[in-house]
Structure 1
Amino acid sequence: FFSIFAFATCGGFEGSVTFSVTCAGGDNATRVTNVTAAYGYPFRLNQAVFQPSLTHLCNHTWPRDVHLVGDFSSASRFFVGVAVGAFLYSLGALGLYLGYLHLYRCAGSHLPLLDPRTCCSPVSVPLSGSAPPVPGPRRGHVRRAAAAPLPHCPAPGVTCARAATPMGGLGASVAFGFLNLLLWAGGSWFVYKETPLHRPAPPPEPSPAPM
Protein backbone atom coordinates (compact mmCIF):
# COMPACT_ATOMS: atom_id res chain seq x y z
CA PHE A 1 0.00 0.00 0.00
CA PHE A 2 2.83 2.41 0.77
CA SER A 3 4.39 1.75 -2.64
CA ILE A 4 1.03 2.58 -4.26
CA PHE A 5 0.84 5.84 -2.34
CA ALA A 6 4.47 6.65 -3.23
CA PHE A 7 4.15 6.36 -7.01
CA ALA A 8 0.58 7.69 -7.09
CA THR A 9 1.40 10.92 -5.22
CA CYS A 10 4.53 11.49 -7.31
CA GLY A 11 3.14 10.46 -10.69
CA GLY A 12 -0.09 12.39 -10.18
CA PHE A 13 1.48 15.57 -8.82
CA GLU A 14 0.51 18.83 -10.49
CA GLY A 15 1.80 22.22 -9.44
CA SER A 16 2.14 25.73 -10.77
CA VAL A 17 4.07 28.94 -10.27
CA THR A 18 2.12 32.19 -10.45
CA PHE A 19 3.36 35.78 -10.60
CA SER A 20 1.29 38.91 -10.45
CA VAL A 21 2.86 41.30 -12.98
CA THR A 22 2.07 44.99 -12.50
CA CYS A 23 2.84 47.34 -15.36
CA ALA A 24 2.92 51.08 -14.69
CA GLY A 25 1.29 53.11 -17.46
CA GLY A 26 2.29 56.52 -18.73
CA ASP A 27 -0.79 58.15 -17.21
CA ASN A 28 -0.08 56.67 -13.74
CA ALA A 29 -2.51 53.84 -14.50
CA THR A 30 -1.48 50.31 -13.66
CA ARG A 31 -2.30 47.02 -15.32
CA VAL A 32 -2.09 43.80 -13.26
CA THR A 33 -1.86 40.43 -14.99
CA ASN A 34 -1.43 37.00 -13.42
CA VAL A 35 0.91 34.70 -15.35
CA THR A 36 1.14 30.99 -14.49
CA ALA A 37 3.54 28.18 -15.42
CA ALA A 38 2.05 24.73 -14.75
CA TYR A 39 4.25 21.67 -14.23
CA GLY A 40 3.99 18.08 -12.99
CA TYR A 41 5.43 14.61 -13.37
CA PRO A 42 8.04 13.95 -14.79
CA PHE A 43 9.11 17.44 -13.59
CA ARG A 44 10.64 18.90 -16.73
CA LEU A 45 10.39 22.40 -15.37
CA ASN A 46 12.42 23.81 -18.26
CA GLN A 47 9.46 23.04 -20.56
CA ALA A 48 6.91 24.91 -18.41
CA VAL A 49 6.10 28.29 -20.03
CA PHE A 50 4.33 31.18 -18.33
CA GLN A 51 0.87 31.84 -19.72
CA PRO A 52 -0.37 34.23 -20.96
CA SER A 53 2.80 34.99 -22.87
CA LEU A 54 5.00 37.57 -21.18
CA THR A 55 6.03 38.93 -24.56
CA HIS A 56 2.73 40.82 -24.75
CA LEU A 57 2.99 42.50 -21.34
CA CYS A 58 4.44 45.80 -20.11
CA ASN A 59 5.25 47.23 -23.52
CA HIS A 60 7.18 44.12 -24.60
CA THR A 61 9.53 44.12 -21.61
CA TRP A 62 10.22 40.39 -22.15
CA PRO A 63 11.59 39.71 -25.67
CA ARG A 64 10.74 35.97 -25.53
CA ASP A 65 8.71 33.47 -23.54
CA VAL A 66 10.01 32.66 -20.05
CA HIS A 67 10.41 29.06 -18.81
CA LEU A 68 11.02 27.60 -15.39
CA VAL A 69 14.50 26.22 -14.69
CA GLY A 70 15.44 22.58 -14.05
CA ASP A 71 14.90 19.05 -15.36
CA PHE A 72 14.23 16.38 -12.72
CA SER A 73 12.69 13.77 -15.04
CA SER A 74 15.36 11.07 -14.59
CA ALA A 75 15.19 11.11 -10.79
CA SER A 76 11.39 11.17 -10.70
CA ARG A 77 11.10 8.28 -13.16
CA PHE A 78 13.59 6.26 -11.12
CA PHE A 79 11.52 6.90 -7.99
CA VAL A 80 8.26 5.86 -9.66
CA GLY A 81 9.90 2.83 -11.30
CA VAL A 82 11.19 1.50 -7.96
CA ALA A 83 7.79 2.03 -6.33
CA VAL A 84 5.95 0.26 -9.15
CA GLY A 85 8.45 -2.61 -9.07
CA ALA A 86 7.98 -3.00 -5.31
CA PHE A 87 4.21 -3.09 -5.77
CA LEU A 88 4.35 -5.76 -8.50
CA TYR A 89 6.78 -7.88 -6.50
CA SER A 90 4.49 -7.64 -3.47
CA LEU A 91 1.59 -9.01 -5.52
CA GLY A 92 3.73 -11.85 -6.88
CA ALA A 93 5.11 -12.76 -3.45
CA LEU A 94 1.63 -12.70 -1.93
CA GLY A 95 0.39 -15.11 -4.59
CA LEU A 96 3.39 -17.39 -3.92
CA TYR A 97 2.85 -17.43 -0.16
CA LEU A 98 -0.89 -18.05 -0.42
CA GLY A 99 -1.01 -20.56 -3.26
CA TYR A 100 2.34 -22.33 -3.27
CA LEU A 101 3.55 -22.25 0.33
CA HIS A 102 4.07 -26.02 0.24
CA LEU A 103 6.64 -25.56 -2.54
CA TYR A 104 8.29 -22.75 -0.58
CA ARG A 105 8.81 -24.88 2.52
CA CYS A 106 9.46 -28.27 0.98
CA ALA A 107 12.83 -29.89 1.48
CA GLY A 108 15.46 -28.89 -1.08
CA SER A 109 13.58 -25.83 -2.34
CA HIS A 110 15.72 -22.90 -3.44
CA LEU A 111 12.90 -20.36 -3.05
CA PRO A 112 13.79 -19.44 0.57
CA LEU A 113 17.30 -18.47 -0.62
CA LEU A 114 16.08 -16.64 -3.73
CA ASP A 115 13.37 -14.71 -1.91
CA PRO A 116 15.69 -12.58 0.33
CA ARG A 117 17.83 -11.55 -2.61
CA THR A 118 14.81 -10.37 -4.57
CA CYS A 119 13.21 -8.81 -1.52
CA CYS A 120 16.31 -6.72 -0.83
CA SER A 121 16.23 -5.15 -4.29
CA PRO A 122 13.74 -2.35 -3.41
CA VAL A 123 16.11 -1.46 -0.54
CA SER A 124 19.50 -1.80 -2.25
CA VAL A 125 18.52 -0.11 -5.55
CA PRO A 126 17.55 3.25 -3.98
CA LEU A 127 20.59 3.15 -1.69
CA SER A 128 22.99 2.52 -4.58
CA GLY A 129 21.23 4.74 -7.10
CA SER A 130 21.40 8.04 -5.31
CA ALA A 131 21.51 9.75 -1.94
CA PRO A 132 19.43 10.35 0.08
CA PRO A 133 18.05 6.81 -0.04
CA VAL A 134 14.74 7.93 -1.57
CA PRO A 135 15.76 9.45 -4.90
CA GLY A 136 13.21 11.30 -6.90
CA PRO A 137 12.12 14.86 -7.49
CA ARG A 138 13.70 16.27 -4.34
CA ARG A 139 11.20 18.59 -2.82
CA GLY A 140 13.95 21.07 -1.94
CA HIS A 141 15.34 21.11 -5.48
CA VAL A 142 11.94 21.60 -7.07
CA ARG A 143 11.00 24.21 -4.47
CA ARG A 144 14.18 26.20 -5.16
CA ALA A 145 13.58 26.00 -8.90
CA ALA A 146 9.97 27.10 -8.50
CA ALA A 147 10.96 29.86 -6.08
CA ALA A 148 13.34 31.56 -8.53
CA PRO A 149 12.38 35.17 -9.29
CA LEU A 150 10.82 36.08 -12.58
CA PRO A 151 13.73 37.18 -14.80
CA HIS A 152 13.93 40.51 -16.61
CA CYS A 153 11.50 42.28 -14.29
CA PRO A 154 12.77 45.87 -14.36
CA ALA A 155 11.77 47.90 -11.30
CA PRO A 156 10.15 50.30 -10.61
CA GLY A 157 8.26 50.32 -13.91
CA VAL A 158 7.38 46.62 -13.62
CA THR A 159 6.60 44.77 -10.40
CA CYS A 160 6.50 40.95 -10.19
CA ALA A 161 4.92 39.56 -7.02
CA ARG A 162 4.94 35.82 -6.35
CA ALA A 163 1.85 33.90 -5.31
CA ALA A 164 1.88 30.82 -3.07
CA THR A 165 3.41 27.62 -4.48
CA PRO A 166 1.90 24.63 -2.60
CA MET A 167 3.93 21.39 -2.68
CA GLY A 168 2.19 19.21 -0.12
CA GLY A 169 1.67 16.34 -2.55
CA LEU A 170 5.35 16.19 -3.45
CA GLY A 171 6.34 16.08 0.21
CA ALA A 172 3.87 13.23 0.77
CA SER A 173 5.47 11.15 -2.02
CA VAL A 174 8.91 11.52 -0.39
CA ALA A 175 7.47 10.55 3.02
CA PHE A 176 5.80 7.46 1.56
CA GLY A 177 9.07 6.59 -0.17
CA PHE A 178 10.94 6.62 3.15
CA LEU A 179 8.22 4.56 4.84
CA ASN A 180 8.29 2.08 1.98
CA LEU A 181 12.07 1.78 2.31
CA LEU A 182 11.83 1.10 6.05
CA LEU A 183 9.06 -1.47 5.60
CA TRP A 184 11.02 -3.36 2.95
CA ALA A 185 14.15 -3.35 5.11
CA GLY A 186 12.17 -4.82 8.02
CA GLY A 187 10.43 -7.32 5.77
CA SER A 188 13.77 -8.47 4.36
CA TRP A 189 14.85 -9.48 7.88
CA PHE A 190 11.78 -11.65 8.39
CA VAL A 191 12.27 -13.26 4.98
CA TYR A 192 15.91 -13.97 5.89
CA LYS A 193 14.77 -15.73 9.05
CA GLU A 194 12.99 -18.32 6.89
CA THR A 195 16.20 -19.32 5.12
CA PRO A 196 18.51 -22.17 6.14
CA LEU A 197 21.21 -19.54 6.71
CA HIS A 198 19.37 -18.35 9.81
CA ARG A 199 17.36 -21.43 10.73
CA PRO A 200 19.13 -24.70 9.90
CA ALA A 201 17.03 -27.43 8.39
CA PRO A 202 15.77 -29.99 10.92
CA PRO A 203 17.77 -33.22 11.07
CA PRO A 204 16.30 -36.18 9.21
CA GLU A 205 14.14 -38.51 11.20
CA PRO A 206 15.94 -41.67 12.28
CA SER A 207 15.02 -44.74 10.31
CA PRO A 208 13.43 -47.61 12.25
CA ALA A 209 15.81 -50.28 13.50
CA PRO A 210 15.87 -53.51 11.46
CA MET A 211 13.99 -56.42 12.93
Structure 2
Amino acid sequence: MDVVNQLVAGGQFRVVKEPLGFIKILEWLFSIFAFATCGSYSGEFTLSIDCVNKTESKRNIKVDFEYPFKLHQEYFEAPTCRGAGATTKVFLVGDYSSCAEFFVTIAVFAFLYSLGALVTYIFLQNKYRENNKGPMIDCIVTAVFAFLWLVSSSAWAKGLSDIKLATDAELIKEQIPACQNTENRCQEVRDPVMSGLNTSVAFGFLNCIIWLGNLWFVFKETGWTAPFMKYPPPAQEKQPAPDTYAPQGQGYAQQDSYGQQGGYQPDYYGQQPEYNQQGYSQGGYSQQGVPTSFSNQM
Protein backbone atom coordinates (compact mmCIF):
# COMPACT_ATOMS: atom_id res chain seq x y z
CA MET A 1 0.00 0.00 0.00
CA ASP A 2 2.89 2.34 0.80
CA VAL A 3 4.42 1.65 -2.60
CA VAL A 4 1.19 2.61 -4.34
CA ASN A 5 0.96 5.80 -2.31
CA GLN A 6 4.53 6.70 -3.21
CA LEU A 7 3.85 6.13 -6.89
CA VAL A 8 0.73 8.26 -6.79
CA ALA A 9 2.54 10.98 -4.87
CA GLY A 10 5.39 10.86 -7.40
CA GLY A 11 3.00 11.42 -10.26
CA GLN A 12 3.79 8.18 -12.08
CA PHE A 13 0.11 7.32 -12.45
CA ARG A 14 -0.62 10.72 -13.93
CA VAL A 15 -0.27 9.23 -17.41
CA VAL A 16 -3.50 7.24 -17.01
CA LYS A 17 -5.38 10.54 -16.83
CA GLU A 18 -3.90 11.68 -20.13
CA PRO A 19 -5.33 10.55 -23.50
CA LEU A 20 -2.30 8.36 -24.23
CA GLY A 21 -2.70 6.27 -21.07
CA PHE A 22 -6.48 6.38 -20.83
CA ILE A 23 -7.02 5.08 -24.37
CA LYS A 24 -4.44 2.36 -23.74
CA ILE A 25 -6.61 1.16 -20.83
CA LEU A 26 -9.62 1.07 -23.18
CA GLU A 27 -7.60 -0.97 -25.68
CA TRP A 28 -6.69 -3.42 -22.95
CA LEU A 29 -10.29 -3.83 -21.74
CA PHE A 30 -11.95 -4.10 -25.14
CA SER A 31 -9.36 -6.63 -26.29
CA ILE A 32 -10.42 -8.82 -23.38
CA PHE A 33 -14.08 -8.46 -24.32
CA ALA A 34 -13.32 -9.33 -27.95
CA PHE A 35 -11.53 -12.64 -27.42
CA ALA A 36 -13.67 -13.61 -24.41
CA THR A 37 -16.99 -13.33 -26.26
CA CYS A 38 -15.68 -15.28 -29.25
CA GLY A 39 -13.25 -17.79 -27.75
CA SER A 40 -15.58 -18.95 -24.98
CA TYR A 41 -18.68 -19.38 -27.13
CA SER A 42 -20.66 -22.61 -27.04
CA GLY A 43 -24.09 -22.92 -28.64
CA GLU A 44 -26.68 -25.47 -29.58
CA PHE A 45 -29.91 -25.82 -31.47
CA THR A 46 -32.66 -28.43 -31.16
CA LEU A 47 -34.44 -30.36 -33.90
CA SER A 48 -37.56 -32.50 -33.92
CA ILE A 49 -38.20 -35.38 -36.36
CA ASP A 50 -41.65 -36.99 -36.35
CA CYS A 51 -41.75 -40.22 -38.32
CA VAL A 52 -44.88 -41.92 -39.65
CA ASN A 53 -44.11 -44.64 -37.19
CA LYS A 54 -44.32 -42.68 -33.96
CA THR A 55 -42.08 -45.14 -32.16
CA GLU A 56 -39.17 -44.04 -34.31
CA SER A 57 -39.74 -40.31 -33.82
CA LYS A 58 -37.14 -38.26 -32.05
CA ARG A 59 -38.34 -34.88 -30.86
CA ASN A 60 -35.37 -33.60 -28.88
CA ILE A 61 -32.24 -33.76 -31.01
CA LYS A 62 -29.62 -31.39 -29.61
CA VAL A 63 -26.83 -30.23 -31.85
CA ASP A 64 -23.83 -28.60 -30.11
CA PHE A 65 -21.11 -26.48 -31.70
CA GLU A 66 -18.43 -24.24 -30.25
CA TYR A 67 -15.25 -22.33 -30.90
CA PRO A 68 -13.24 -22.72 -33.17
CA PHE A 69 -16.33 -23.60 -35.24
CA LYS A 70 -15.11 -26.62 -37.16
CA LEU A 71 -18.68 -27.51 -38.01
CA HIS A 72 -17.75 -30.29 -40.40
CA GLN A 73 -16.63 -32.27 -37.33
CA GLU A 74 -19.94 -31.78 -35.50
CA TYR A 75 -22.73 -34.32 -36.08
CA PHE A 76 -25.92 -35.66 -34.54
CA GLU A 77 -27.89 -38.91 -34.74
CA ALA A 78 -31.12 -38.64 -36.75
CA PRO A 79 -33.71 -41.44 -37.19
CA THR A 80 -34.12 -42.87 -40.67
CA CYS A 81 -37.86 -43.57 -40.16
CA ARG A 82 -37.45 -46.88 -42.00
CA GLY A 83 -38.10 -49.24 -39.17
CA ALA A 84 -35.96 -51.13 -36.70
CA GLY A 85 -34.99 -47.85 -34.97
CA ALA A 86 -32.15 -47.23 -37.39
CA THR A 87 -30.29 -43.91 -37.18
CA THR A 88 -27.82 -42.05 -39.35
CA LYS A 89 -25.11 -39.53 -38.65
CA VAL A 90 -25.70 -36.07 -40.03
CA PHE A 91 -22.70 -33.71 -40.16
CA LEU A 92 -22.87 -29.96 -40.24
CA VAL A 93 -21.29 -28.11 -43.14
CA GLY A 94 -18.27 -25.82 -43.15
CA ASP A 95 -14.99 -25.07 -41.35
CA TYR A 96 -14.78 -21.52 -40.04
CA SER A 97 -11.91 -21.97 -37.64
CA SER A 98 -9.44 -19.89 -39.63
CA CYS A 99 -11.28 -16.57 -39.33
CA ALA A 100 -12.33 -17.23 -35.73
CA GLU A 101 -8.84 -18.20 -34.59
CA PHE A 102 -7.31 -15.26 -36.45
CA PHE A 103 -9.69 -12.88 -34.69
CA VAL A 104 -8.98 -14.34 -31.25
CA THR A 105 -5.22 -14.36 -31.87
CA ILE A 106 -5.19 -10.66 -32.76
CA ALA A 107 -7.29 -9.91 -29.69
CA VAL A 108 -4.91 -11.81 -27.38
CA PHE A 109 -1.79 -10.14 -28.78
CA ALA A 110 -3.47 -6.74 -28.61
CA PHE A 111 -4.30 -7.43 -24.97
CA LEU A 112 -0.70 -8.36 -24.16
CA TYR A 113 0.78 -5.41 -26.01
CA SER A 114 -1.57 -2.84 -24.50
CA LEU A 115 -0.85 -4.21 -21.04
CA GLY A 116 2.90 -4.05 -21.62
CA ALA A 117 2.67 -0.53 -23.04
CA LEU A 118 0.60 0.62 -20.07
CA VAL A 119 3.19 -0.73 -17.63
CA THR A 120 5.91 1.04 -19.62
CA TYR A 121 4.00 4.33 -19.51
CA ILE A 122 3.69 4.14 -15.73
CA PHE A 123 6.98 2.65 -14.51
CA LEU A 124 9.44 3.14 -17.39
CA GLN A 125 8.54 6.58 -18.69
CA ASN A 126 12.19 7.70 -18.91
CA LYS A 127 13.18 4.60 -20.84
CA TYR A 128 10.16 5.04 -23.09
CA ARG A 129 11.21 8.57 -24.10
CA GLU A 130 14.94 7.89 -24.29
CA ASN A 131 16.22 8.81 -27.78
CA ASN A 132 12.55 8.97 -28.84
CA LYS A 133 12.68 5.28 -29.82
CA GLY A 134 9.80 4.27 -27.56
CA PRO A 135 7.18 6.55 -29.16
CA MET A 136 8.35 5.60 -32.66
CA ILE A 137 8.02 1.87 -32.00
CA ASP A 138 4.71 2.43 -30.22
CA CYS A 139 3.37 4.40 -33.19
CA ILE A 140 4.33 1.72 -35.72
CA VAL A 141 2.90 -1.13 -33.63
CA THR A 142 -0.32 0.80 -33.00
CA ALA A 143 -0.78 1.36 -36.73
CA VAL A 144 -0.20 -2.35 -37.42
CA PHE A 145 -2.75 -3.40 -34.80
CA ALA A 146 -5.32 -0.93 -36.12
CA PHE A 147 -4.97 -2.51 -39.56
CA LEU A 148 -5.08 -6.07 -38.17
CA TRP A 149 -8.20 -5.29 -36.17
CA LEU A 150 -9.92 -4.10 -39.32
CA VAL A 151 -8.91 -7.20 -41.31
CA SER A 152 -9.67 -9.72 -38.57
CA SER A 153 -13.02 -8.15 -37.66
CA SER A 154 -14.11 -8.09 -41.29
CA ALA A 155 -13.08 -11.71 -41.77
CA TRP A 156 -14.81 -12.79 -38.56
CA ALA A 157 -18.00 -10.91 -39.51
CA LYS A 158 -18.09 -12.85 -42.80
CA GLY A 159 -17.35 -16.10 -40.97
CA LEU A 160 -20.15 -15.49 -38.47
CA SER A 161 -22.58 -14.88 -41.32
CA ASP A 162 -21.61 -18.27 -42.79
CA ILE A 163 -21.98 -19.96 -39.40
CA LYS A 164 -25.52 -18.66 -39.07
CA LEU A 165 -26.30 -20.01 -42.49
CA ALA A 166 -24.72 -23.39 -41.74
CA THR A 167 -26.79 -23.79 -38.57
CA ASP A 168 -30.04 -22.76 -40.22
CA ALA A 169 -32.80 -25.35 -39.87
CA GLU A 170 -33.79 -25.29 -43.54
CA LEU A 171 -30.27 -26.15 -44.67
CA ILE A 172 -29.87 -28.89 -42.09
CA LYS A 173 -33.19 -30.55 -42.98
CA GLU A 174 -31.96 -30.96 -46.53
CA GLN A 175 -29.16 -33.20 -45.20
CA ILE A 176 -31.45 -35.47 -43.14
CA PRO A 177 -32.70 -38.48 -45.21
CA ALA A 178 -35.88 -38.85 -43.17
CA CYS A 179 -36.86 -35.25 -43.93
CA GLN A 180 -36.88 -35.95 -47.66
CA ASN A 181 -40.06 -37.98 -47.17
CA THR A 182 -43.01 -35.62 -47.04
CA GLU A 183 -44.86 -38.00 -44.69
CA ASN A 184 -42.31 -37.29 -41.99
CA ARG A 185 -42.26 -33.96 -40.23
CA CYS A 186 -39.01 -32.15 -39.45
CA GLN A 187 -38.77 -28.83 -37.67
CA GLU A 188 -36.42 -26.75 -35.57
CA VAL A 189 -37.46 -26.46 -31.94
CA ARG A 190 -34.86 -23.96 -30.71
CA ASP A 191 -32.54 -21.64 -32.59
CA PRO A 192 -28.93 -21.13 -31.49
CA VAL A 193 -28.26 -17.99 -29.49
CA MET A 194 -25.80 -15.87 -31.46
CA SER A 195 -25.84 -12.70 -29.36
CA GLY A 196 -22.42 -13.42 -27.89
CA LEU A 197 -20.86 -13.80 -31.33
CA ASN A 198 -22.58 -10.65 -32.57
CA THR A 199 -21.07 -8.83 -29.59
CA SER A 200 -17.60 -10.12 -30.45
CA VAL A 201 -17.88 -8.65 -33.95
CA ALA A 202 -19.00 -5.33 -32.49
CA PHE A 203 -16.03 -5.32 -30.09
CA GLY A 204 -13.72 -6.10 -32.99
CA PHE A 205 -14.72 -3.04 -34.99
CA LEU A 206 -14.78 -0.95 -31.82
CA ASN A 207 -11.20 -1.97 -31.13
CA CYS A 208 -10.30 -0.93 -34.65
CA ILE A 209 -11.71 2.55 -34.02
CA ILE A 210 -9.98 2.87 -30.64
CA TRP A 211 -6.56 1.81 -31.93
CA LEU A 212 -6.93 4.06 -34.95
CA GLY A 213 -7.84 7.00 -32.71
CA ASN A 214 -4.94 6.31 -30.37
CA LEU A 215 -2.61 6.40 -33.36
CA TRP A 216 -2.86 10.19 -33.43
CA PHE A 217 -1.89 10.62 -29.77
CA VAL A 218 1.06 8.25 -30.13
CA PHE A 219 2.11 9.99 -33.34
CA LYS A 220 2.32 13.32 -31.54
CA GLU A 221 4.73 11.79 -29.01
CA THR A 222 7.20 10.88 -31.77
CA GLY A 223 7.98 14.49 -32.67
CA TRP A 224 7.43 13.78 -36.36
CA THR A 225 4.91 16.63 -36.47
CA ALA A 226 7.55 19.27 -35.63
CA PRO A 227 8.52 20.07 -39.27
CA PHE A 228 4.86 20.66 -40.11
CA MET A 229 4.09 22.96 -37.19
CA LYS A 230 3.68 26.64 -38.09
CA TYR A 231 4.52 29.03 -35.31
CA PRO A 232 3.07 32.58 -35.25
CA PRO A 233 5.52 35.43 -36.08
CA PRO A 234 6.96 37.31 -33.10
CA ALA A 235 5.02 40.38 -32.05
CA GLN A 236 6.58 43.66 -33.21
CA GLU A 237 7.32 46.32 -30.61
CA LYS A 238 5.38 49.54 -30.96
CA GLN A 239 7.49 52.61 -31.81
CA PRO A 240 6.99 55.59 -29.47
CA ALA A 241 4.93 58.43 -30.91
CA PRO A 242 7.02 61.45 -32.02
CA ASP A 243 7.14 64.32 -29.58
CA THR A 244 5.75 66.88 -31.98
CA TYR A 245 5.00 69.62 -29.54
CA ALA A 246 7.15 70.93 -26.73
CA PRO A 247 5.78 72.23 -23.44
CA GLN A 248 3.37 75.14 -23.69
CA GLY A 249 4.93 78.52 -24.41
CA GLN A 250 8.13 77.29 -26.08
CA GLY A 251 6.87 76.90 -29.64
CA TYR A 252 7.87 73.90 -31.70
CA ALA A 253 10.39 71.60 -30.05
CA GLN A 254 11.66 70.29 -33.32
CA GLN A 255 11.76 71.65 -36.78
CA ASP A 256 10.98 69.69 -39.82
CA SER A 257 13.61 68.75 -42.29
CA TYR A 258 12.59 71.51 -44.66
CA GLY A 259 13.31 74.16 -42.04
CA GLN A 260 16.69 72.61 -41.17
CA GLN A 261 17.77 72.73 -44.78
CA GLY A 262 17.29 76.45 -44.96
CA GLY A 263 13.93 76.60 -46.65
CA TYR A 264 11.05 78.82 -45.77
CA GLN A 265 10.20 78.51 -42.11
CA PRO A 266 7.30 80.62 -40.90
CA ASP A 267 7.59 82.19 -37.50
CA TYR A 268 4.13 81.51 -36.15
CA TYR A 269 4.80 82.96 -32.76
CA GLY A 270 6.96 85.98 -33.62
CA GLN A 271 6.16 89.18 -35.49
CA GLN A 272 6.32 89.13 -39.24
CA PRO A 273 7.15 92.06 -41.48
CA GLU A 274 4.26 94.01 -42.96
CA TYR A 275 4.02 95.94 -46.13
CA ASN A 276 4.32 99.78 -46.00
CA GLN A 277 3.86 102.11 -48.89
CA GLN A 278 6.84 100.52 -50.64
CA GLY A 279 6.40 97.03 -49.25
CA TYR A 280 6.12 95.34 -45.90
CA SER A 281 6.36 97.34 -42.67
CA GLN A 282 7.27 96.01 -39.29
CA GLY A 283 4.43 95.53 -36.84
CA GLY A 284 1.39 95.09 -39.09
CA TYR A 285 0.12 94.78 -42.61
CA SER A 286 -1.07 97.71 -44.66
CA GLN A 287 -2.04 98.00 -48.26
CA GLN A 288 0.41 99.52 -50.72
CA GLY A 289 -0.09 103.27 -51.27
CA VAL A 290 -2.37 103.81 -48.26
CA PRO A 291 -1.09 106.00 -45.36
CA THR A 292 -0.48 104.11 -42.21
CA SER A 293 -1.27 107.07 -39.90
CA PHE A 294 -3.21 110.37 -39.82
CA SER A 295 -0.02 112.42 -39.84
CA ASN A 296 0.93 111.11 -43.21
CA GLN A 297 -2.17 112.66 -44.63
CA MET A 298 -0.98 116.11 -43.59
TM range (shorter): 0.7 to 0.9
User: Are residues 63 and 94 of structure 1, via their aligned partners in 2, closer, same or farther at CA, if it must alter by over 3 Å?
Assistant: same
Letter in 2 for 1:13: Y
- Indicate conservation of the 8 Å contact 2:143/2:215, yes or no: yes
Indicate whether 1:146 and 2:174 are aligned. Answer: no
**Which protein has the larger Cα radius of gyration, Structure 1 or Structure 2?**
2
Q: Which residue in the other structure is 2:143 paired with?
A: 120
1:58 Cα offset (Å) = 1.6
CA distance in 2, matches of 1:62, 1:125: 49
Unaligned runs of 5+ in 1: 201-211
Q: Which residue in the other structure is 1:74 paired with?
A: 98
CA distance in 1, matches of 2:91, 2:82: 19
Q: Which residue in the other structure is 2:292 paired with?
A: none
- Indicate conservation of the 8 Å contact 2:92/2:172, yes or no: no
TM-score between both structures, scaled by the size of structure 1: 0.82
Count of matched residue positions in the alignment of Structure 1 and Structure 2: 191
1:30 Cα offset (Å) = 7.8
Indicate the structure with greater helix content. Answer: 2
TM-score between both structures, scaled by the size of structure 2: 0.59
Letter in 1 for 2:140: R
Indicate whether 1:135 and 2:155 are aligned. Answer: yes
- Indicate conservation of the 8 Å contact 2:99/2:155, yes or no: yes
1:196 Cα offset (Å) = 1.5
CA distance in 2, matches of 1:29, 1:73: 38
1:119 Cα offset (Å) = 1.3
Q: Which residue in the other structure is 1:157 paired with?
A: 183
Three-state SS of the structure 1 residue aligned to 2:225 is coil
Three-state SS of the structure 1 residue aligned to 2:182 is coil
Equivalent residue for 1:46, pick from 52, 68, 72: 72
Q: Which residue in the other structure is 1:183 paired with?
A: 210
Query: Deviation string for 1:137-157 (max 9, x for gaps)?
Result: 632111001012322212322
User: Percent same amino acid at aligned positions?
Assistant: 38
**RMSD over aligned Cα atoms:** 2.2
Indicate whether 1:93 and 2:93 are aligned. Answer: no
Unaligned runs of 5+ in 2: 1-28, 228-298
- Indicate conservation of the 8 Å contact 2:42/2:67, yes or no: yes
- Indicate conservation of the 8 Å contact 1:9/1:170, yes or no: yes
CA distance in 2, matches of 1:29, 1:8: 43
Three-state SS of the structure 1 residue aligned to 2:45 is strand
186-195 or 153-162: bigger deviation: 153-162
